[in-house]
Structure formats: structure tokens, C-alpha cells
Structure 1
Amino acid sequence: MRFDQARLPGNITKNRGRIVVVRDIIQDYSAYLIREDRPPLSGLDALVHRLQGQVRRRWGRRRLYVTACRIAHAAEGPASMDDPTLFRTLEEIRHRVRMQREEGDIIEHALSYLVEAADRTLSMRPYPVQLMGALALIQQYAIQMQPGEGKTLTACLAAIVLAWRGGSCHIITSNDYLAQRDATLMQSMYERCGVTVGCVLGSMSRRERQVNYRRNIVYATSKELLADYLRDGLALPDGRTPDQIMLMRLERGTADTVMHGMHTAIVDEADSVLIDDATTPLIISVPRENRMLKEAVRMASRMSSKFVAGEHYTVNRRQQEIDFTDAGLRLIEEIHRELPDIWRTRSRSEELLKQALLARELYELDRHYVIIDGRIVIVDEQTGRLMEGRSWSYGLHQAIEAKENLPLSDPVSTNARMSFQRFFRLYKHLSGMSGTFQNVEHELWHVYGLPVVRIPTRLPNRRMVMPDRVFATKEAKFQSVVEEVVRWHRRNRPVLVGTRSIAESEMLARLLTEEGVRCRVLNAVHHREEAEIVAQAGQAGCVTIATNMAGRGTDILLGPGVEEMGGLHVIATERHESRRVDWQLFGRSGRQGQPGSAQAFVSVEDHVVCQVFPHWFILTLQKVSRVRGGSAVVLFFYRLAQRTSEWSASLLRKRMLHDDYKMDEMLSFARNGRS
């Protein structure tokens, strides 16, 4: 049944002392409709689906570019209008888009007027490549735009048109800082176009979230959206279907939910959100007091000092696992009686000791976590930011607290969980954008139905990427990085140095200070100074050391005279498991046709190499790196390690999604059996 809301009378229904507008209930009903969640295709269906994706990728780019050029030419017409006429015409177009009766021509017509509105409101006139990107987002593509090409304005244009169609439009950003920045930056444009905008931040109360979710366009991170979705599911005892929500509105006068539907999502840095974060489900949990577990964790932490790596256990860094040897199992048999009664069984004592050894071997202070006010705060390795309120499960969090001699927190029990893969598959309209979709095009189409289209750059790319420099040890690498920074600093060029961890950024800052080079440090510890540090990073002679916080979404503007000197120089002190993260860091320089340069300094002892190859092979590579021509050999295996890590991560994501649906099928069968 289709409701013509324009003809609905203003009838009102009084129920239990509350007045509910029928029109509002119908709008809410439409807002809460979500896409049916079906498993990805397999077999012959998957093959046909893959061919469809290749066709859309191949033929979409040319068609979109021609249409964008046509819109740019048509945008010259509204330039002669005065402001009242322009925005009155935009209001008329908004109503026509809402009726959804002229899909093709009306979208082009709307964008041509939005070009002039953006010019007058924001003093930013969209280029044809930005219009091409906006068209692609409206048509559910994943667009690859190079850093600095104006993705913020591109998303704004698409969001306005999509919000005019009805239903909420969520723009997903990498962090709270970008969500608040972009919502504030584009607010005047949204208001002149008749749509409301808000942002949802981690520090907001429930009431503030409800108010912001009612806006037409909402900026938020993926973690905040999924957490609110899961909390809403817990608040609705009979489920979150539109029927249940409408009945609740009729009965109580309100629905006890925070979110206001999941109609449209535009995902910024979509490769990070939809691909890299897909392996970690978001869990809603509550602490449960468990004194026996705390006591057992403390004892296991003390007992783990008796275990020697290589003799009693082996460490699989790639799979993040501890495997006990025969000697280790015999040692467990000898000492497990020291544990409390309930933990003395073979399986439970092994699990406790594995967690203690994992905490010791694989989780490092100032890399995976920091200590703030006597508590463990997790650091997001992808973004370098703090993850307040998050904890590791299965006793691992308590094992790390015991390792650091901190008071043990209460373990948590899971109330709800969901992967980001399944969450974003629920949106009726999904699109994304990033500067780095290389190597993930097939996965984006297979899992999310998003064909990737590459948007050409407005100006030629003038960034110069220098060959990697190879070292046998980390110590030699960092000493050379310091010498390189001093050399560029003497030339008065701004330098951005990217590190993998907080500890490395602080260590490098200390070494540069000893050389007389003043530098600013941007990491999870200094996150409150982010805006100020980023604003100064492009000034002449400025040296900035940063973790991944200075990667995605960071726009470093060049100061006076810097472009003539060669622009920003970027140094990567280590490459990541995913090459896309390296490209994001390099993308901070040479933006919008400006000059810039970048270079990576790598060593055989880097994490990406050590987690793939065995120790004896690392020692061999160190010897090879010191001979003539050995750098090329080391770089070959370094890149092989990166590709291996990417391949392993891709397999893990596929397996997790398959297992997720398999578990649903099993639980559904069990429920049907009980009924």
C-alpha cells in the first residue's frame, strides 16, 4: 500500500492522554523500513553477479562524466538569478524530488542549481569531477577520489538530493572530530537548501542523540551508529520492525528508540569502514561482578612468568594465537592445581594461561592501549585514536590489567553484537567514497553491491614518491629518519612523519629535540590539540610527528611560500599490513595539484614482516640487506608480507560473514524446533 502523504488530513488520534499525528506515524513507519538481510550470493549466482559488477564499473564512468559536464554547463543559467529567486526555485525542486516522479532529469536539474547555491553560500563552486562524484553517490556507487579533490563538498551535494527524497541520510566519517567539523562547515549550505543537519558524537547524552537523529542529514562514526542500533534493539522487547514501532507510538505516544530509521548512508573512507573494520564486531555489554575470575586472572598472570617462548609455547603473530608445546602442557599439569577449584580443569587452565601470554606477547603499551587514570584505554590501530568505553572480551582485558599491575575491572557479558558488514547491508541506499579502493573492488561489490568508479583528478598529480629506504634494524632506521628530518628542516620545508605507535612517535620526538629540531606530536595522548597541530602542519619549517590520526580525512593546508619550496614532505617510518593505509598517509601531500613528496623508511624488524615470516628468515633478510643489491630482495619480501597480510584479512572477513549467517540459520532452526 502506498500512502500519499500530501493528501492526508491533519487528523489526530488521542490515546492514553497523548496526541499523535497520523501523518507523523506514517512517516516514522517509512523511516524504519530496512533492507532485507540476505547472505551474499554463491556459486553460479555469484559469478553472474560479479560480471554485472564489472559491467557497471566499466560503463558507469564515461556516462557519469558526460552527465557531470552537462550539469556544469547548465549551472551557468542560475548564475544570473538573484538570491530570493534562486532559493525559491530550489524549494520547488525539493518538492519535485520528494514526489520522485522525474528521476533522471530532475536530479540533473537539482544539481545544476546546487552548484550556484554552493558558490554563493560556501564560496565553493563544485567542479565537474565533484558533480561526477555526487551523481555516482546518488546512484549507489563507491567513488574513488584522490585526497584533496573535495570529497566533503561532493558528499554534501549528494546528501541534499538524497535527503530531499525523504528518509534520513547518514554521512559516516572516520572520527568524531571530522563529524563535527563537516556538519559545522556545511551547515549554512544545508539550511539554505531546506534540510536540517546534525552530528552524533560519543560524548552526547541519549536525549541529544535523539534530537540529532531526527535531522534530515546526520554526521556520525560507524561505531556510534551501530552502537545506537544495537541499544535500540535491546530497548524494543518485541523487535525493531516498523509494525512494532508504530504500535508503540500508538500505545505510548512515542517509540523508545534513539535512531530514526536507516534509509541512506554515504560512507566516507569506505574502505576503512566497510573493509578494514569488518573483522571486529561491535558488542554491547554490561559489567558483571566475578571475583573468582579476577583472582584466577591474577594468579595466571603470575604463573605465566614460568613459561619461556620457544620452549613452552610458540607465538603465531599473524593469527594472534598462542600454541603450547609438549613441555608447556607438562608445565600446566604441574602448576594448574594452584588455581581456584573451578579453573583447575585442563581446558580452563590452558585458556587462562593463553590469555596471560597473549597479553604479554602481543599487546603492547602505547601501541595497542594506553593507561589513563589507572585504567586501560584501547587505541584503534587503524585510526590511532582512543576507544573510550571499549574493552577486550573473554578475560583478555583483565589479563592486560594484571600484566600492568592495575586494579582489575569487572568482566563483561554480551547483550548484543553485530558486525559492521551486516549492519551496512541493512541500509536501503548505500554509497561510499575513498581515495584508496585499490585491491578491494571485488569485495565491495560481492558484499555490499557497490561498484567502484574512479573519479579523475581536476589537476595533474604533482606528488613525487621516492624509492623506499631499507635498513636491517629499527635502530638504524630511526637514526636515518632523524637525519632526513633535520635535512628537510634546514631547507625550511614542512615535514610530516608517520609512525605506527604512540611509543614510536614520542621516541622520535625525543630524538629530534636532542638534535635541536622543535616538533609537534599528534597521537591519542595529545588528541585535544589535533585541530591546532593540523592547522600548523603545512607551515614553513614545521615538523609534525603523528600516528594514523594524521591519515584519513586530514587536510593539511600549505602556508605562504611553501608551494614554491616543494610543498609538504611525508616520511613513513613503517609500512602497514594494508597498502591502502600507506597511500592514505602519502596522500597528505600533493593535494589539489600542489607539489609534494613522500618516502618510506622500512626495516627487516618491522611488524608487518615479523608477523608473516619466521625468526630464522628475519635473520637471513638482515644479512641480505647489508650486501650490495640486497635492498631489492628485502623489498620484494616486504611487499610479499603486505600482500599476504591483505589476503589473510580478506579470507577472515569472508569467513566471519559466512559464519555470521550460518549461526543465524542454526539459531532460527533451534527456535523453530522449540516452537
Structure 2
Amino acid sequence: MNTAALHLPVPGMRWGSYPERPEPPGGRSWRRGLPLPFTLRWPGAWRRRAQAVWDQAAQWQALDSKAFAALREALQQQLLREGLDGAAAAQALAYVAEAARRTQGRQAYVTQLMAALALLRGHLAEMATGEGKSLAAALTAGVAALAGIPVHVLTANDYLVQRDAETFTPLYRLLHLRCAWVGARHDEAERRQAYAADVVYVTAREAAFDYLRDRMRHGTGDAPLRQRARALADHDGAGPVLRGLCMAVIDEADSILIDEAQMPLVLSREVVDPAARAFLWQAWALSGRLVLGHDFALQGQPARAALLPAGLERLARLATGLGPLWVNAQHRAETVVTALTARHLLQRDRDYVLVPGDPAQRKKPEIAIVDVLSGRIAEGRRWSRGLHGLVALKEGIQLPPESETMLQMTYQRFFRRYHRLCGMSGTLAEGRTELRQLYGCTMLRVPLRLPDRSSAWPLRCYADDASRQRAAVVRIQALAASGRPVLVGCDSVAASEAMGAALAAAGVAHQVLHARLDAAEAAIVARAGVHGQVTVATNMAGRGTDIHLDAPALAAGGLHVLSCQHNASRRHDRQLSGRAARQGQPGSHETWLVPRPPAAAGTDEAGGSGARLSGLHRLLRLLPGRVRTDGRVALPPALLAWALRREQARTERLQARRRQQLFQHDIRFDASLCFTGQRR
């Protein structure tokens, strides 16, 4: 047997019943077998390999079903002998591509085959929106599953998980592979059955929490012999849900591996603690008696609440006689600062939404966090240290049950434990250094299949939100009247609803897509490409959605994207603008900004995720004559673009440094527990 096949992570005698990679201790390029960087930066060699795969698949088109099926076993045996790094993988990819043509009715493009070849080698592929990432992921998963590797295909949300799994099930069936999907509503037995399939479509959150549950109940990560002994001692027969962390194919890889890398994944259980609930009530009451500017300040970027010396003294007096939980000065101050954060910084319809209750189903009202990056409701996510309960008090609803942390991890730590890790996104270039250092994944930029016909309109700047909104309504009316569909990107739920209200007042028919309407996402996105259609959306329209245009919309000039967002990263700008001009279609995009005052103001966005352009705000205060009567700032677009890119680059560096520091702190903390024999 070729030694390359020995590196295929498959549950069994060699890898154990639950394969997972021992996590490397640091953040260097730690994965083996990485090619030289220039081999990935120049895509010519990859295109030639992909063209050879395409030619081979085209030759098999003439075979009838019986002859084509007879090829599978020989190709599979070759994969098992040679692994995924040689000619066997290219042959298998050609076979899977032809199977996709027969079941999906579409032939894979050379660019999709380029991406699949890179993914099979453990790289990341940057593919523009609409270039067919879903099919490329399915081709990759099909080849790896033929080699016997359990594959997890990770997508953005439950809707896309179910859609992609059902779409590609005929492909996997033709390959004699089983495909399944895992959603939030599935119980443990259904999950175990789904993960037993060859290819599993699942969100990153569900896969990570299933791994944590396995660790808590079955102690994964042990040596193979110990794993087998533990399985023999398992009397109830209910083993781990997962079959290990063998291979992951990640859609929107930069969102998961960078933006959400430090998102804490906390496995907890509900506990009854009346004293803790009373403590939160007292903290909320005390925070309402403190005065902004005298007792506390809102400062920094992102803004944080901080008690001033006068506030610490007053808090000590107010807490006298409240009970033993208020004796410790540090604990007392931290809890009240958390209450001040809930009271003054977190805002409804921006940081969270209030989900109404349903008496018929005995469902109580609750607080749902809005993910600042995706614009979607963060299902199952809760703020820690009592903040979630304090926000509930702010909204006048019943306190949620207290929880006790049992196990926790971050995406950063979780994905480093997959033996084979790869992924795709339309925006990877800006984070390629961080991705290589933390995950050992280099990047291939896949060229566009057709020439780019997008048009970037000049950047605009307005003095305030009201001026920008009025101008936006005029622009949208003109574009919709010409037959072009328009997508308007807004920062938050509140901002999208305000834009929707302004359009309604002007008589412009439109649709709104935000976190409170995520159940209707598919229907709204399906109509977003109709000629003359106006869609107002948060970041939900930036990832995982393809807007298909009808013929009149294409004839009118295609989709126009008007971004009224203040994104902290250039990647997020490219995600939104990438909705237009997909697959060689016509389209255009533009960005309209409003400079914000420095973050020390009490009205700062708690998330701190947006580019504030505070330097430009100070410049406009010095040059008031630059603001025209309609509120537009008369500055050259090149200067505005420079100011935006400068602040975004600074924010990206700060966020990357913060992620690196948190990662190193997490590693050191984990190492400090080694003497106790614990392992997170």
C-alpha cells in the first residue's frame, strides 16, 4: 500500500474509533506537507490540472449508466491505495464531476474543479460569489468520502444545511454514499444516525457543541486502546454522537475561522439559584441610581462602562446591608458595570431582539442576540456573567434560568483538531496570514469563470443619517423606476426598519430582511432579483445567499447594491458588493458613509464593529463649508476611500492582535491545567 493512504483519517485500528488531531501548542504553520507559497499564488498549474480533470470527465459522458457505475469500485480502490494527494484523487474527482452532471443536470466548470483540487489538498479557496462554491464543496466531499473519510460540510445556517443536503443527495446516492444533515431541532438519536453517514451537512455551531457533549460524556481524545476499552465498558450502548474530527469542508471559512474564531462555545446546564437572581435584581436597581459623568463613564472603542472614584464610593454606601454577595468590592463593581452595560450600551434591534412569547405553546418572551457579523439571530447564544438576565430585566420580561458552565471551547481551538481542514469564501485574501499561522491553511485564489462586468460607483459621504436616508430614497426610486433591482445594506435591524419606513413614506414598494424575519429569508431573497424590486437588508444578505436575476432585470443593468453599512473590515464590504454582477452578469455597487464622533461618546455602538471615520468627522467640524445644503460632503471620492481603508486596516490589525492574544492566553491557561490531568 502506498504510504500516502496511511494519512487518510478513518475510524479504525490505526486512528481509533474517534480520530482527532492533538492540538498543536502554538500558532505557527504547523501542518505537514504544505507546498511553497508561490505554487498557490500562481493558479496556472492548478488550472492545467483542473482542465485535465474536466477532459477526463467529458470522455466518460458517452458511457451508459452500467458502464459508468462499473468504474466506481476501481477508482475507489485506487483512492484507498494512494490517498488524496496524487493522480488517484484527480481521477476520482473526474468521476464525481460526471456523476454530478448526471444527477444535477449541470457540468462542473474548470474553476470549480480547481477549487475542489485545492480543498482536497487541505487549502482554502477564494471563490467569488455565484461561482459555485456549493458544488465545489460537494465534489470535494464526494471524493473524500469515496476514500472512506467521514466528511463534515459546514454551512452558514440550518436553512442552507438542509437545502444543500437535499440538493446533493442524488449525487451521493449515485456514488453509493449516504448523505445526511443535522439541525438544531434534531435529538441525540437523530444526530448519531446522521453523523454515521458518509457526508454530513451541519452548521459549525451544531458540530462544535456535539463535540463538546461527546467530550463531556465519553472523554474523547484518548488513545485508541483506551477508546476501545471505554466502548466495551459502555453498558447502555449509546456511544459518542460524532465519529471523530476527520475532515471539515467549511463554507464562508473566513467568517467562522476569523470573525467568530473567539466566540465562546459554552456547554452549560440550568440551575436554580434564588440568591443569584436576587443579586441581579439588586445590581439592576443600583445601576439606575448612578449618574453618567459623575459616578461612571462610557469610554473607549468599543465603548465600555467604567466606574469613577465617586461612583465606587457611592456604590459602597448603597450596597451596605444588601447581603454577603455585596461585601467583596471587586465583585460588586464588576456586577454593577455589567448592569450599566445592559442599561446604556446594549440596544434593542441592534444588539438583540425581543422574541414575543406564544401562550398556546407555553413559550415565554425571551432575548435573542443578533450576530453583529451575519445580521442573523444567534440561536442558542447567551451573554455570560449575568448580562443576559440584566437585559431581560431591562426589557421587563422574566429572568431566564441561571446556568452553570460545564465545558467550553472556541471555534479557533475546535477546528485545529480536525485532521484535514479546508474551506472556501469570497473574501479570504485579507486574512490569509492569520489563517496560515493559526490553521496551517494556505490560500488559492480561483479566477472568475467569466469576465467581471461589475461597476463601482464613487464613494459618497453625508453629514448625518437623515441626509443619507433622504438621498438614498431618491437614488432607489430612480433605479427601481429604470427596472433595476436594488439591494440596500444597513448596519442593524433598527437601521433597516428606518430605511424601510422612509421608502414606504415615499411610496416605494420594498422588502425588508433582518434578524426578526429570518424565517422568510428564502422567499425574500428569491424575489430580490426581480426587475424593479427593492430589498433592504442587514448583513444577512452578505453571506450564503445568491440573488438570481430575471431577464428584464439583466436587460436594465443588473442588481445595484447600495451599502449604508460601516464595516470594520474590507472583507465585509466585498461580501456585500459581491451580491451584484455574479457569473459575468452586469451590476454595480456603491458605498455611502456617515462619519461618526469619537467612540468616547455614550451613544457608541457596543459592538465596536463598524468603521466610524472619526478622523473624517473631526475634519468636517473644522471645515463646515464642505457640507452642502443636501447634507452631502463635498470631498474627493479618492480621499474618502483612503480614509475608509485606513481606518479599516487599523481595525483589522487591532482585531487580529486581540484574537492572537486571546488565543495565546487560552493556550497558556490550558497548559496550566496539565499537572491536574485535565484537558479541555
Deviation track 1:347-380 (CA, whole Å, cap 9, x = no partner) reads: 1221121001111232111111111122111111
The one-letter code sitting in structure 2 at the alignment partner of 1:180 is Q
SS at match of 2:298: strand
Deviations 1:58-117 (A, max 9, x none): 35x332111111222222311211121112212331232133369522222222223322
Residue 262 of structure 2 corresponds to which residue in structure 1? 279
- CA-CA distance at 1:643 after TM superposition: 2.0
Matched, 1:33 2:19: yes
**1:235/1:467 Cα in 2 relative to 1: closer, same or farther (>3 Å)?**
same
| Separation (CA, whole Å) in 1 of partners of 2:130 and 2:625 | 39
Whether the 8 Å CA contact 2:596–2:613 is kept in 1: the answer is no
Aligned to 1:658: 664
Confirm or deny: 8 A CA contact 1:285 1:413 kept in the other structure.
Answer: yes
Query: How far 1:201 sits from its partner (Å)?
Result: 0.7
Find the partner of 2:55 among 68, 73, 94. 73
- Flag the 1:92–1:144 CA change in 2: closer, same or farther, 3 A: same
Say whether residues 1:214 and 2:209 are aligned partners: no
Post-superposition offset of 1:410? 2.5
SS of the residue 2:305 aligns to: strand
SS at match of 1:409: coil
Superimposed CA distance per residue, residues 111-133 of structure 1 (whole angstroms, 9 cap, x where no aligned partner): 22233222221111011111111
**1:227 matched to 2:204:** no
Q: 2: CA distance between counterparts of 1:600 and 1:339? A: 53
Work out which of the residue numbers 441, 452, 456 in structure 2 matches 1:461: 452
Do the aligned partners of residues 644 and 53 (structure 1) sit closer, same or farther apart at CA in structure 2, a change above 3 Å counting? farther
Residue 240 of structure 1, CA deviation: 5.1
Distance verdict in 2 for CA 1:621–1:224, change over 3 Å: farther
SS at match of 2:543: coil
Amino acid aligned to 1:37:
E
1:568-607 matched pairs, under 5 angstroms: 568-605=559-596
Matched with 1:57 is 40
Q: Structure 1 residues 331 and 636, CA, compared in 2 at 3 Å: closer, same or farther?
A: farther
Counterpart residue number, 1:176: 158
Question: Unaligned regions of 5+ residues in structure 2, if any?
Answer: 358-364, 628-633
- Structure 1 or 2: more helix by fraction: 1
CA distance 1:164–1:364, change in 2 (3 Å): same
Q: Residue type matched to 1:346 in 2? A: A
Give, as a single letter, the amino acid of the residue that structure 1 aligns with 2:128. Answer: Q
- Distance in 1, Cα, partners of 2:83 & 2:118: 20
Partners of 1:101 and 1:616 lie apart in 2 by: 55
For residues 450 and 163 of structure 1, the distance between their equivalents in structure 2, rounded to whole angstroms, comes to 21
**Equivalent runs, 1:52-201 vs 2, <5 Å:** 54-58=37-41, 61-100=43-82, 104-201=86-183
Decide whether aligned partners of structure 1 residues 288 and 279 sit closer, same or farther in structure 2, where only a CA change above 3 A counts.
Answer: same
CA contact (8 A) 1:473 1:622 kept: no
Instruction: Check whether the contact 2:2–2:82 (CA below 8 A) recurs between aligned residues.
Output: no
Summarize deviations over 1:144-200 as a string: whole Å, max 9, x none.
111111111111111111111112101111111111111111111111112111111
Whole-angstrom CA distance in 1 between matches of 2:134 and 2:258: 21
- Structure 2 match to 1:334: 317
For the 8 Å contact 2:50–2:110, the answer to whether it is kept is: yes
* 1:348 matched to 2:334: no
Matches within 5 A, 1:444-523: 444-523=435-514
Contact 1:25 1:249 in 2 (8 A): no
Alpha carbons of structure 1 residues 317 and 404: separation in structure 2 relative to 1, 3 Å: farther
2:428 aligned residue: 437
C-alpha deviations, 1:299-338, integer Å up to 9, x for none? 2222223333333323245355322223322332332326
CA distance 1:28–1:489, shift in 2 (3 Å): farther
1-side partners of 2:2 and 2:99: how far apart?
33
Aligned residue identity for 1:393: S
CA gap of 1:240–1:179, structure 2 versus 1, over 3 A, is farther
Residue 499 to residue 69, structure 1, CA distance change in 2 (3 Å): same
CA contact (8 A) 1:624 1:634 kept: no
Cα distance in 2 between the residues matched to 1:625 and 1:39: 54
Which residue among 271, 275, 292 is the counterpart of 1:288? 271
Distance 2:36 2:316 in 1: 56
Q: 1:176 to 1:27 in 2, by over 3 A?
A: farther
Rounded Cα–Cα distance in structure 2 between residues aligned with 1:405 and 1:620: 42
Deviations 1:526-580 (A, max 9, x none): 1111111111110111111111111111011001221111101111111211221
Give the alignment of 1:301-320 within 5 angstroms.
301-319=284-302
Alignment equivalent of 2:389, drawn from 389, 398, 423: 398
In the alignment, which residue of structure 1 is the partner of 2:649?
Answer: 643
Provide TM-score, normalisation by structure 1: 0.90
Q: Match for residue 543 of structure 2?
A: 552
Aligned partner (choices 345, 366, 376) of residue 367 of structure 2 = 376
Give the match's secondary structure for 1:365: coil
Number of residues of Structure 1 aligned to a counterpart in Structure 2 = 649
1:239 to partner: Cα distance: 6.1
Unaligned runs of at least 5 residues, structure 1:
6-23
Distance 1:460 1:164 in 2: 35
User: Aligned residue for 2:526?
Assistant: 535
Q: Which structure is richer in relative contact order (CA contacts within 8 A, separation 6 or more)?
A: 2
Residues 442-501 of structure 1, C-alpha deviation per residue, up to 9 Å, x if partnerless?
A: 111111110011011110111112122101112222222222211211112111111121
State the Cα distance separating 1:259 from its structure 2 match: 1.0
Structure 1 Cα separation of the partners of residues 491 and 288 of structure 2 = 28
Q: Quick one: distance in 2 between partners of 1:484 and 1:329? A: 52
Partner in structure 1 of residue 377 of structure 2: 386
The alignment-based identity, stated in percent, is 33
**One-letter amino acid of the counterpart of residue 627, structure 1:** R
**Aligned counterparts of 2:84 and 2:619: Cα–Cα separation in 1:** 66
- 8 A contact 1:377–1:387 mirrored in 2: yes
SS at match of 2:429: coil
Alpha-carbon contact 2:566-2:612 (below 8 Å) kept = no
TM-score, normalised by the number of residues in structure 2:
0.89
Give RMSD over aligned pairs. Answer: 2.9
Q: Which secondary structure state, in structure 2, belongs to the residue aligned with residue 77 of structure 1?
A: helix
Contact map agreement 1:163 1:216 (CA 8 A) in 2: yes
Query: In 2, distance between residues paired with 1:448 and 1:288?
Result: 37
Contact 2:460/2:640, CA 8 A, preserved across alignment? no
